[in-house]
Amino acid sequence: EDQVTQSPEALRLQEGESSSLNCSYTVSGLRGLFWYRQDPGKGPEFLFTLYSAGEEKEKERLKATLTKKESFLHITAPKPEDSATYLCAVQGNFNKFYFGSGTKLNVKP
Amino acid sequence: EPEVTQTPSHQVTQMGQEVILRCVPISNHLYFYWYRQILGQKVEFLVSFYNNEISEKSEIFDDQFSVERPDGSNFTLKIRSTKLEDSAMYFCASTPRTGGSGELFFGEGSRLTVL
Residue B1, pLDDT > 80, answer no
Of A1-15, A25-39, B87-101, least confident by mean pLDDT is B87-101
Mutate to test the interface with A, among B104, B105, B110 (most CBs of A within 10 A): B104
pLDDT, tens digit, for every residue of B49-79? 988 899 889 999 999 999 999 887 899 999 9
pLDDT, tens digit, for every residue of A61-102? 999 999 989 999 999 999 999 999 999 999 877 667 889 999
How much is the pLDDT for A29?
A: 80
Distance (Å) from the C-alpha of residue B22 to the closest C-alpha of chain A? 15
d(CA B25, CA B106): 9
A34 interface with B at CB cutoff 8 Å? yes
Handedness of CA B48, B50, B53, B55 (dihedral sign): negative
d(CA A84, CA A86): 6
Q: How confident is the model at residue B100 (pLDDT cuts 50, 70, 90)?
A: low
Average of per-residue pLDDT across A18-33: 91
Contact B49, B67 (CB under 8 A): yes
Question: In chain A, what residues touch B102 (CB-CB under 8 Å)?
Answer: 32, 49
Q: In what helix (H) or strand (E) does residue B106 lie, and over which residues does it extend?
A: strand B105-106
A49 interface with B at CB cutoff 8 Å? yes
Taking the CB of residue B70, how many other CB atoms lie within 10 A of it? 9
Q: Determine whether the interchain pair B43/A49 forms a contact, defined as Cβ–Cβ distance below 8 Å.
A: no
